[in-house]
Amino acid sequence: MTFSRRLQSALRNHGEAARFRLLTACANVLIPGYRLKFPQLDWWQNSDFNAYLAKFDEHDGHNTDRRWLVYQLQRLTAGVPGDTAECGAFNGAGSYIILKSNQQDRRYQRTHFVFDSFEGLSIPQSTDGDYWRAGDMSVGESKVRDNLADCGAFELMKGWIPARFAEVADRRFAFVHIDVDLYEPTRDSLAFFLPRMAAGGVIVCDDYGFSTCPGATLAVDEVLAGCVEKMLPMPDGGGFLIKGVSTGKTAQLSVAVTNGDAVAT
């Protein structure tokens, strides 16, 4: 009998709450500081979304929350004119969500542009740390095309970012997903698309705030340094901004404010 089966047998007579407490205790031992979330989330049982996860083999949960947020953030652009784009396609899972959302809302005839080398990552620079290697995340163009075959109007823009951006320089965009992991392509993508976003458009940076992608976070903060928009870090990793919406500073939760004066607590 495998360890998994022995464990299941031992826990068979325990309720979900007891099993979750055990899981939390084990996680705290194996990875101190790791934070589990409560499993009673309605969207975890969304059959349509789970079918999408199965299509792209993403049931392990590592990307699930960020996929769901892209799925929901796309809804904010229903009344925003413009096309959509993704920088860094991998297997097409992000573009699939965007394209299906474009099909759902036919108020605008959007074209979706997919920018990718289809050869994996470029050579990381010193700002990118040591997690990534050139060629990582490589998925061929034909595989991505097949995965998006039933999704409506899209164009695969094969090439190293930003080589083909000039071909869409005269367009406006409603939704852009940036997932290129490294400093230079993240900087080039955000700097190009931000001024071409329609008011109310959404940009998502999948890699923002990850310790494995320090270059991407640095690039975003540099590009947005003089902008009213700032990247809002999401609790599952990544971040988003809304074009034209001013973003305030993060509140200091450890500082009490009395009569306008900040007092350390």
105-164 pLDDT, tens digit per residue, is 778 889 999 999 999 999 999 999 999 999 999 999 999 999 999 998 999 999 999 999
Q: What are the φ and ψ backbone dihedral angles of 43, each rounded to 5 degrees? A: -70, -20
Q: Does residue 255 form part of some domain?
A: no
| 22 and 73 share one domain | no
- Is the residue at 187 inside a domain? yes
For 36, the domain range is: 1-40
- In this structure, what CATH number is given to the domain that contains residue 57? 3.40.50.150
SS3 content of the chain, % helix, strand, coil (to 5): 40, 15, 45
Gap between the Cα atoms of 55 and 19, Å rounded: 29
Give the pLDDT band of residue 37 (cuts 50, 70, 90).
confident
139: in domain: yes
Cα separations in angstroms, 23 against 10, 14, 31, 75: 14, 13, 12, 34
Q: Which of 208, 213, 253, 252 lies closest to 232, judged by CA?
A: 208
Domain-embedded: residue 251? no
Predicted model pTM: 0.88
Please check whether residues 32 and 111 belong to one and the same domain: no
* Cβ contact 96:123 at 8 Å: no
Do 6 and 110 fall into the same domain? no
Number of CB atoms found within 10 A of residue 194's CB: 18
Q: Is residue 172 situated within a structural domain?
A: yes
At 57 the pLDDT is 92
pLDDT at 1 over 60: no
Structural tokens at position 72: 């929901």
List pLDDT tens digits, range 152-204.
899 999 999 999 999 999 999 999 999 999 999 999 999 999 999 999 999 99
Check: CB of residue 173 under 8 Å from CB of residue 85: yes
Higher pLDDT, 68 or 257: 68
Q: Looking at the structure, do residues 1 and 122 belong to the same domain, yes or no?
A: no
Specify whether 92 is located in the same domain as 214. yes
- Average pLDDT value for the chain: 91
HSE-up of residue 27 (Cα within 13 Å, Cβ side): 11
List, in sequence order, every beta strand (DSSP E) within the chain: 83-87, 112-116, 154-158, 173-178, 197-205, 232-233, 239-242, 255-258, 261-264
Q: Do 28 and 79 belong to one domain?
A: no
Residue 250 lies in a domain: no
The verdict on 32 and 46 lying in the same domain is no
Query: How far is it, in rounded angstroms, from Cα 65 to Cα 112?
Result: 23
What is residue 212's predicted lDDT score, i.e. its pLDDT?
A: 96
Structural domain includes residue 257 = no
- Find out whether 84 and 98 touch, Cβ atoms under 8 Å: yes
Contact 174, 83 (CB under 8 A): yes
200 in the same domain as 215: yes
- Total number of domains constituting the chain: 2
Residues 11 and 57 in one domain: no
Q: Is residue 89 part of a domain?
A: yes
The Cα 238–Cα 50 span in angstroms is 21
